[in-house]
Amino acid sequence: MGPVTCVVIANHPGVRTAMEAALASLGLQVRALSGLGELPATLKDTPVGGILLELATAIKASQQEKEAANELMRFYPFARFRVVGEEVRVLGQEKSLEAFARQCGQFTPRGVRRESRVNRNLAVYLARGSEFEDAEEAITINVSRGGCFVYSIREWKIGSVVWLRFLGDQVAISGTVCYWHAWGNNKVMPGIGIKFIVPSPFAETETVVDQESLSKMPAAPMPPPTHIVTMP
């Protein structure tokens, strides 16, 4: 395997040039971006081993750009940084740029899925087991052919299997928790990102999401009161 690619995001071209030189000296290739909004498209095309975001660039980014990027960056070694003179300071963790480079080198480079998401609030029962005991009444925030994000205030474990049943549909769907946003963080919607295992309700279509299937599923109000129910 060749050198690992690290994404560097910085508005100022001088900062990007300095980071390219610093990381190249540590054995990393660099994909330099001028703004946070470029990150989603970059990760679709390029498997990377880490992401470095300049602090000033992060502050200037729009809320929409931050939300889209935050969801992606949790899957990679990630750090914010600032350049002071000729020194690169990695923020928020007790490690140097050299330590971050080693972390990237130990990470298997990955990209992100190419499937688009559709923002749709669908009523769904969410449970830890296939029997749907103590299922949670929840809603989706967005869906794709490969998975969905479900609003939930429960605690979840990344990697665990969950079960979903959309309101008005008796087919149970299994999935894996890819990430979890805990309740209480005012910066992100609480809930879990789910990757469908089998069967996916949107798999048998050439489009990214089966619009006909979506139209038949009852929409839920936003935000709903989340509580626990016993399935009939």
For residue 195, the model assigns a pLDDT of: 87
**CA geometry: angle at 159 spanning 98 and 171, to 5°?**
150
Q: Are strands 161-166 and 173-181 parallel, antiparallel or unpaired?
A: antiparallel
Is residue 140 one of the residues assigned to a domain? yes
For residue 15, the model assigns a pLDDT of: 94
pLDDT digits (tens, 9 = 90+) for 159-202: 899 999 999 888 888 999 988 888 887 777 899 989 888 655 55
For residue 206, the model assigns a pLDDT of: 33
pLDDT digits (tens, 9 = 90+) for 19-35: 999 999 999 999 999 99
Name the residue range of residue 29's domain.
Answer: 5-106
| Shared-domain flag, residues 122 and 204 | yes
Lowest mean pLDDT, pick from 3-17, 157-171, 218-232: 218-232
| Shared-domain flag, residues 74 and 148 | no
Model-wide pTM > 0.85? no
| Shared-domain flag, residues 42 and 142 | no
Q: Cα separation of 34 and 16, whole Å?
A: 8
Of 49, 76, 106, which residue constitutes the final position of a domain? 106
| Shared-domain flag, residues 98 and 177 | no
Is residue 112 one of the residues assigned to a domain? no
Strand residue runs (E) in the chain: 5-9, 29-33, 50-54, 78-84, 87-91, 118-119, 123-127, 135-143, 147-151, 161-166, 173-181, 191-196, 227-229
Q: How many domains does the chain have?
A: 2
| Shared-domain flag, residues 218 and 124 | yes
| Shared-domain flag, residues 123 and 102 | no
For residue 116, the model assigns a pLDDT of: 64
Q: How far is CA 43 from each of CA 7, 29, 80, rounded to the nearest angstrom?
A: 9, 15, 18
pLDDT digits (tens, 9 = 90+) for 86-142: 888 898 766 789 999 999 988 888 887 656 667 889 999 999 999 998 899 999 998
Is residue 172 one of the residues assigned to a domain? yes
Is residue 111 one of the residues assigned to a domain? no
